[in-house]
Structure 1
Amino acid sequence: MKVKDPGERVGYLIWQLSQAYAQRMEQALRPLKLTQAQFSALVRLSLDGTLSSAELARRCGVTAQSMGTALRDLVERGLVERRAHPTHGKIVEMSVTAAGVELAQRGEAAVEPCEQEALEPFLPQEREQVRAHLQRMLGTLNPRALGPAGDLLHDGT
């Protein structure tokens, strides 16, 4: 069996793309003192409302440990609040504060140039197709990141 060039594998291309995009996002978020996991948490909580840290980690596609680290700093900065679940004593719910929503919005503005750069090779009419194809792939690999209609979760479903 012949060894296949990694550039012919979708997974390798996605990994390389992810690394390059993550680097740009990290640079864009650095002035806001946010990591990608923290930014993702603020955005998800802003859109979805109160979530357990475990569910938040699943929706953001990170480990529970990574999310715990991200949330610890966000809580210390007053961007996210923790409270006990009203009926399940072991579950801790997370909710975003007004300052957290404002920082999520600033983060969105900071990463918008990253998205524009990534989509630049495509014609305007192709850009939505690229997003749709990526969402379909994500739905296969991480269904919890998508809602029932195949759209990225944003309404607490």
Structure 2
Amino acid sequence: MADTAGPTLLYAIKQVELAVRAGMDKMLRPLNITVSQYTALTVLRQRDGLSSAQLARNSFVTAQTMGELVATLEKRGLVTRTSDPTNRRRMLTHLTSAALAMLDEYDAAIEELEEKMLADLSDRERDELRRYLGSCRTALTDRSAR
């Protein structure tokens, strides 16, 4: 018997992710910045001074990818790195004022993209979607890694 219920939820979530990424790619292209770089910068805006490994985990990329990404951002003057006073071998990454200004400039555009995505949902449905997605993330997260 054929399944007429439509695509799986995993497929639908991936399609939403790809649409969001395409919108962000288009928006960030004039800055010559990738979505992964933008994500790392927004993570640092929330928690400045992360190690490269911590930043990688919070930005959904590998540690190797983050190392390359941070080096590129540092060359562009968007981040600086300092030695961790508690562990001299570990480097901490910090946003520069240029990065903060860029993020502030693009906040409204990112909010517009999110609003476009959620336009047909009521406030209650938006809150439920956030809660449901949070529950899904929690269920899939390796609790021993936290």
TM-score normalised by length of structure 2: 0.85
CA distance 1:7–1:86, shift in 2 (3 Å): farther
Q: Distance in 1 between matches of 2:101 and 2:80?
A: 15
Decide whether the 8 Å contact of 1:29 with 1:36 is kept in 2: yes
CA distance 1:88–1:6, shift in 2 (3 Å): farther
Secondary structure at the aligned position of 1:90 is classed as strand
Secondary structure at the aligned position of 2:93 is classed as strand
Q: Distance in 1 between matches of 2:91 and 2:2?
A: 48
Aligned residue in 2 for 1:71: 70
Secondary structure at the aligned position of 1:26 is classed as helix
Aligned residue in 2 for 1:103: 102
TM-score normalised by length of structure 1: 0.80
When you count strand as a share of all residues, which structure comes out higher?
A: 2
Aligned structure 1 segments of 4 or more residues deviating by more than 4 angstroms: 2-7
Higher relative contact order (CA 8 A, sep 6+): 1
Deviates more, 1:128-137 or 1:93-102: 128-137
**Structure 1 residue 5 displacement after superposition:** 7.5
Deviations 1:28-69 (A, max 9, x none): 111222211111111111111210011011011111222222
**Structure 1 residue 143 displacement after superposition:** 6.8
1:61 and 2:60 correspond: yes
| TM alignment of 1:124-139, pairs within 5 A | 124-139=123-138
Aligned residues: 144
**Structure 1 residue 107 displacement after superposition:** 2.7
In our comparison, the structure showing a higher alpha carbon Rg is 2
Q: Distance in 2 between matches of 1:75 and 1:15?
A: 31
Identity level (%) = 34
| Unpaired stretches in structure 2, ≥5 consecutive residues | none
Q: Distance in 1 between matches of 2:122 and 2:21?
A: 23
| Unpaired stretches in structure 1, ≥5 consecutive residues | 148-157
**Structure 1 residue 138 displacement after superposition:** 2.1
CA distance 1:95–1:102, shift in 2 (3 Å): same
Q: Distance in 2 between matches of 1:89 and 1:5?
A: 58
